[in-house]
Structure 1
């Protein structure tokens, strides 16, 4: 079968797909992506093209406000596909990039839902669009097994070079990157410590924060490409040794400190991963730590790097968190930087109940 689609520029695809490995300290390495979600998006789209599920001119519909949305926009423009995105609030620069690449946006600005929040509201819109466009292709980034599998070449490359790691630290959104890396590294080192990083408003690990900072409450939808208000099918709880919940102000502090130290501009999710990875590297100098930095800072110029925007939360940004508070129960997670041993257990063993039921528009 001959597939009729536009010929993409191969060097463009390679540029977005491959991370740069940066040695930050003698025992700390970062896999720094400019657009991490390009990796699973490329794998999912190319698989659909190869199978004939997508052809030139096909329609792709997905819910995403972050790097997966931008990755899909780039890929669809390269392959001659139509793209509709259901997003939350996005910055002007992100909206300009998405629309200039040909994407059509359905923006959901807020939700009154208590459970699932704006993500569930977006999935409701997504379900309506898929019903109206039954021939459209839905990438299903949160449950598609190609998401995690697409990251295999990167840790494999490190192992082939003779590099070994004792601790892996990464933020969790869809679950693809952290557990995609983890599965490869665990094959080499079953004693690898897998450390997941979440935020205080997320339900992925069943946290029940009774109190959060004002900055977390008011800004997380604008600045975070991690966490979730709904369960994520690609999260491998039984590969997870430890979970950290990092407040947004700490992420912002870390991003600014990292830029001052290295000149590298990264986003809030990278700030969360760096916070935990640096703590582990300092605390355990004999262990080699690998962390994943998922996002470039350019999409945050109107938020994380805008002094007027930051001035909205001066009290929160003055607080310092030098180390996490150890917690014994999910009910104890609060507004600060919290840490809890997970012990490679299923979700039910820690939370006392199964993950929340999947919502409309989220079925695989």
Structure 2
């Protein structure tokens, strides 16, 4: 029996959509990483019960960290993006978390930059606070070990392709690491990352999406805990194409999920059709409730999926909307050396190797 609601929320469902397409469906995915990270910090003495944990979030991680703090008797402070809505702010307040929100801003890069600046201001005022660094610390990989074990039991994890938003690297990256670390060392696991246009993580910052950069699967600032060498293939998917995926997923499979799930579903279908011998598993990080107005109310605009196909590219200079695909082949991070993430086994002052 679970001891706290966070444990139940963090447990995903494995749903087989057809013979070779499986969905790993979460209610709120980042609860998994937040719970394990806070537990590890407590166990290693980095923080103590009653301490304040601090981070920036565009939404999902704020809720996850607030739940983890509630579970473990910690205080929580969130610097929220302009995208944090009234529903979430109300939940944070009742859970005992304090929060502040950036002023409205149409430029996500500026929004993220201001949030990071604010974090540093708070730390200067309160050096006793612990910054969780969800975008930079690989401690957030820890929670996915048990999920990888469950996937291995259900699918065999051989001839498996995992598809999902790259984000901070903690979900897809961790799953690939743990799944590839099979007891016999022979697991055939490919990793396909999904990115929005405008994200710097894999070098697409020069291509703008006229709608939005899909929060949660990409970034306009470097994320240090993305291990680029884990990824075999990349898909860049626009808002409009992701919307079409979300609508089709609900209509065809009755699965109500967020916008990044629609992008992952689109990429997963394509990868399934390319490799008939492989099982394809894609991540659904959250439900569709906060996308009612921005995505689901626009269902009549959705492009039929047969009309969508990725443009195959060999270089980021060839990227074009609405959908591009490129073989990454487990290469290093693009761009200057200061954008390259650290190796997994020496990640931060308090976290060593978790794998």
Native 8 Å contact 1:174 1:235 kept in 2: yes
Native 8 Å contact 2:20 2:272 kept in 1: yes
| Alignment partner of 1:79 is 2:75 | no
Deviation at 1:327, TM superposition (A): 1.1
- Paired with 1:175 and 1:283, the residues of 2 have a C-alpha distance of 25
Q: Which moved more, 1:188-197 or 1:127-136?
A: 188-197
Deviation at 1:184, TM superposition (A): 1.9
Native 8 Å contact 2:333 2:339 kept in 1: no
- Paired with 1:292 and 1:278, the residues of 2 have a C-alpha distance of 13
- Structure 1 residues 106 and 325, CA, compared in 2 at 3 Å: closer, same or farther? same
| Alignment partner of 1:345 is 2:339 | no
- Structure 1 residues 258 and 129, CA, compared in 2 at 3 Å: closer, same or farther? same
- Structure 1 residues 85 and 246, CA, compared in 2 at 3 Å: closer, same or farther? same
| Alignment partner of 1:91 is 2:85 | yes
| Alignment partner of 1:63 is 2:56 | yes
Q: TM-score, normalised by structure 2?
A: 0.86
Match of residue 337, structure 2, among 345, 348, 354? 354
1:15 corresponds in structure 2 to 8
1:183 corresponds in structure 2 to 177
Native 8 Å contact 1:273 1:292 kept in 2: yes
Three-state SS of the structure 2 residue aligned to 1:265 is coil
| Alignment partner of 1:109 is 2:103 | yes
2:122 corresponds in structure 1 to 129
Structure 2 unaligned regions, length at least 5: 342-347, 350-355
Match of residue 214, structure 1, among 210, 213, 220? 210
* Residues 1-364 of structure 1: pairs in structure 2 closer than 5 A: 10-89=3-82, 90-110=84-104, 116-161=109-154, 163-164=156-157, 165-188=159-182, 189=186, 191-210=188-207, 212-216=208-212, 220=213, 224-307=215-298, 322-348=308-334, 351=335, 353-356=336-339
Native 8 Å contact 1:208 1:333 kept in 2: no
Deviation at 1:44, TM superposition (A): 1.2
Query: Could you say what the CA RMSD is over the residues aligned between the two structures, in angstroms?
Result: 2.6
- Structure 1 residues 252 and 202, CA, compared in 2 at 3 Å: closer, same or farther? same
Deviation at 1:112, TM superposition (A): 8.8
Three-state SS of the structure 1 residue aligned to 2:130 is coil
Q: TM-score, normalised by structure 1?
A: 0.84
- Structure 1 residues 128 and 30, CA, compared in 2 at 3 Å: closer, same or farther? same
Three-state SS of the structure 2 residue aligned to 1:48 is helix
Native 8 Å contact 1:209 1:332 kept in 2: no
Three-state SS of the structure 2 residue aligned to 1:326 is strand
Deviation at 1:67, TM superposition (A): 1.4
Three-state SS of the structure 1 residue aligned to 2:163 is strand
Structure 1 unaligned regions, length at least 5: 1-8
Three-state SS of the structure 1 residue aligned to 2:58 is coil
1:6 corresponds in structure 2 to none
Deviation at 1:192, TM superposition (A): 2.4
Deviation at 1:319, TM superposition (A): 8.6
Native 8 Å contact 1:250 1:272 kept in 2: yes
- Structure 1 residues 213 and 202, CA, compared in 2 at 3 Å: closer, same or farther? closer
